[in-house]
Amino acid sequence: MEDLPEELFAEFLKRITRTSALASLCTRFPNLCKVEIDYSGWTVGHGNQLDNQGLSVLSSHCPSLTSLGLSFCSYIDDSGLGYLACSKKLASLRLTSTPNITSRGLLTVAVRCKSLSALHLIDCHKLGSKDWLEYLGSVGSLEELVVKKCEGISQDDLLKFGPGWINLQKFVFEIKKRFFRNDGAGPGEGYDPSYDPHSLNMYDFSCENMKDLRLAGIEIATGKGLRFLFGRCKALEKLCLEYVRGLNDNDMVALSQSCNNLKSVSLWLDPQNYYDTFRTAFTDNSLKALSLSCPMLESVDLTFTGCSAIYTSEIGFTRKGLVALIKSCPIRVLVLRGANFFNDKGMKAVSSAPLLETLELVDCQAISNAGLRFIVRAPCLINLTLRLCDRVTNAGVSKLAHSQKLESLIIERCSRVSEQAVRGAARSVQYSESVPLSELEKLFATSCS
């Protein structure tokens, strides 16, 4: 139905007030394979939501249904999920903020939907029992598992997935989003500088087909929990670690040595007390490991939150370490947020990167016009983004305009750059005196959301 005009599609939906009407609609489109039902922003005044009976009609009248997403569906409970047994081809299920669905309903889906290969669970607070994880792990059909902000599901619960890890290609685990405060406390029980992820531990799970791994807001204890993933994901192509406590250089070394196919790395870090110093979890030793073992690495995203603009030592990475990585790997995309160690000398070094196409700098206060004069020399650079870079002025932007190399230029909240100065500096120009909320959250949020 993607090709239907929005006005016509809206008219269809207005007329679906009874389950018989829904049945007629499904019958009219027998090849319907993907359905998304989203009630975000819904109030009682908007009318009734789709309920269990409606889900039964949908399941029984859509024989080609392969993908189903339910968001903010408060009228659907475990009984409704039971009707998905009719969907023999259902391969992907996404549940977002479905308050009345429990582990019992999810187990029903796991047992009856034999084709299920992708499961996304987001903000589902009544989920907690491990039975469904054990069952799906024993069957081994899941290739994609996403668990975000589900309070009842812990790292220990996920270990019940057991043999299922071997077929998993994408795994995301995020607790309720938070940004840690620098409260002066120690690094917690998860940090052990002598721990070797290569050593044997109590978990002998294989995850050799994992290509995409994202962990966010969790603390990993020494030799426990999801730490076994580091060093065992031989096929990994994309790694994203957002404010994960308890890790150190040994983990990154173990991971990089087993991931020759790694293409993308995203690290969001904040400083913690590491016994002898106050800094982020990883140092140049991690960058060196990536340089030596990941010849296909082409995208690097480094975000630093809560690090002083004055004390560069609060970030474990140095300009020298980052430049060495860029020179060793075929980096095409580089994103730096809050990188107080990166200055104009770094820009000069990066300008010689032969494949760099996209550069994004956010709150990099050490960058000035001199850095822009260097970066225009980068042979393949076509996309440049500058946000909250207050030392950059109109004079620096004029150098970009003079080069006529850029296809895209985004400048947001750079206080000394005017809208007039960016005109004509690239084929596509975006200028704003404000910064998107998402960027501000990454840099300045310091409390639980």
Residue 188 has pLDDT above 50, yes or no: no
Question: Two tokens at 388?
Answer: 């909250």
Q: What confidence tens digit (pLDDT) does each residue in 391-404 have?
A: 999 999 999 998 89
Mean of pLDDT values over 151-166:
92
Mean pLDDT of 61-88: 94
Domain boundaries, the chain: 343-449
Measured in residues, the chain has a length of 449
* 20 has pLDDT over 70: yes
| Beta strand residue intervals within 108-211, DSSP E | 118-122, 144-148, 170-174
- Show contacts of 398-407: CB within 8 Å, 24+ apart: 398/425, 399/369, 399/372, 399/373, 400/372, 400/376, 400/425, 400/426, 401/425, 401/426, 402/376, 403/376, 405/376, 405/381, 406/381, 406/382, 407/382, 407/383
Provide the pLDDT for residue 227: 87
CB 166 within 8 A of CB 139: no
Query: In this model, does residue 439 exceed pLDDT 90?
Result: no
Tell me if 351 sits within 8 A of 315, measured CB to CB.
no
Architecture of domain 343-449: Alpha-Beta Horseshoe (3.80)
Lowest mean pLDDT among 4-18, 89-103, 281-295: 4-18
Is the pLDDT assigned to residue 10 strictly greater than 70?
no
Average pLDDT over residues 151-165: 91
Note the pTM of the prediction, 2 decimals. Answer: 0.89
Alpha-carbon span 120 to 105, nearest angstrom: 14
365-386 exposure pattern, b = at least 16 Cβ within 10 A, e = fewer = bbbbbbbbbbbbebeebbbbbb
* Confidence bin at 223 (pLDDT 50/70/90): low
Q: What is the pLDDT of residues 292-308, one digit of tens each?
A: 999 999 999 999 998 88
- Within 8 A by CB and 6+ apart from 21, the residues are 15
CA distance 273 to 182: 9
Residue in 258, 259, 205 with CA at minimum distance from that of residue 227: 205
Q: Is the pLDDT assigned to residue 440 strictly greater than 80?
A: no
* Integer Cα distance of 436 and 392 in angstroms: 19
CA distance 344 to 355: 19
367 is written with which tokens?
A: 């960058």
Quick one: pLDDT at residue 166? 94
Percent of the chain whose pLDDT exceeds 70: 85
CA distance 367 to 343: 5
Other beta carbons less than 10 A from residue 233's beta carbon: 26
